Amino acid sequence: MTADRLDGALVAQQIQRELRAELEELLRRGVRPGLGALLVGDDPASAIYVKSKARRCEELGLHHETRRLAASATTQEVLEAVDDMNRRPEIHGILVQLPLPGQVDARRVLEQVRPEKDVDGFHPENVGRLVQKRPRFVPCTPAGVMQLLARSGVELAGRRAVVLGRSEIVGKPMALLLLHADATVTVCHSRTRELAAVTREADVLIAAIGRAGMVRAEHVRPGAVVVDVGINRVSDPALARELVEPARFAEFERRGYALVGDVHAPEVAQVAGALTPVPGGVGPLTIAMLMSNTLRAAASAA
């Protein structure tokens, strides 16, 4: 058995087509949604993420701006940059690219974003609304996973779901969304005992632990749906040869690194019923849901 491919890129394209229709309606009303991104420091991965989000804004026709601050920026300087975006009516959504440099108080920065512009869904008010099942904005990656499952015909009500990872960005909101969809949810983490025994109970397994190839065949119930949220940069040739499919290995040799997920795809594909690829799985959906949240913010402000 080889797992079916859950194609996040294809679903993201479907969502983008729907967003174009929503955008046309907003433009007819004289509203052009705007996204402001704040990038602090020179982390290469963060710069790539912000650039890809800006490119998607351009494709859709959204207004977008990127504010860059030095890696030495203080918490106060970052707060002032957020305040500037808070005040500007042409910016409907604010994206603070994480992680922030160590000297910056990330919690204070995220709390500074006005809740109605918090298109990442990280402000405490928006987190509380999500807990109460009346969300304003849902964090983009978990929202994208839910879209993927729904549009792929994966039934959640009454099924056992396991979330591997408990981050504020993915793990915790993911568990809440699955719970709201009437799944029976277990959250696992680094201190979970007999991890494989727990994850093998899952009909739907969400891997968001941040460790390359950690989820192996022994962790997966035969026929389970496995969603790989992980994005890990691998530069070790031996590990890359183990995790990267042969068609992508030439790319690894050219670049000197490859992006892989938290799932050991070659093993798990022989056990799971369906599996997301990395790249091309959850990543495109994260950006699609950021665009969706920005349009929603603009519509609410109009």
Among all residues, which ones are annotated catalytic?
53, 97, 120
Give how far Cα 25 sits from Cα of 93, 135, 244, 269, 300, Å: 18, 23, 43, 42, 13
DSSP state of 100: P
Closest CA to 146 of 170, 121, 119, 122: 170
Instruction: Look at residue 226 and give its three-state secondary structure.
Output: strand
Question: Which tokens sit at 193?
Answer: 């005992």
Rounded Cα distance between 153 and 127, Å, is 27
Question: Helix 283-301 vs helix 44-60: angle between axes, to the nearest 10 degrees?
Answer: 60
Question: Which tokens sit at 170?
Answer: 């993915």
Phi, psi of 155 (to 5 degrees): -75, 135
Question: Helix 283-301 vs helix 140-151: angle between axes, to the nearest 10 degrees?
Answer: 110
How many CA atoms does the CB half-sphere of 200 hold within 13 Å? 10
| Burial tier of 237 (Cβ tally within 10 Å: 0-12, 13-18, 19+) | middle
Neighbour tally for 227: CB within 10 Å? 29
Rounded Cα distance between 52 and 283, Å, is 11
Rounded Cα distance between 81 and 112, Å, is 10
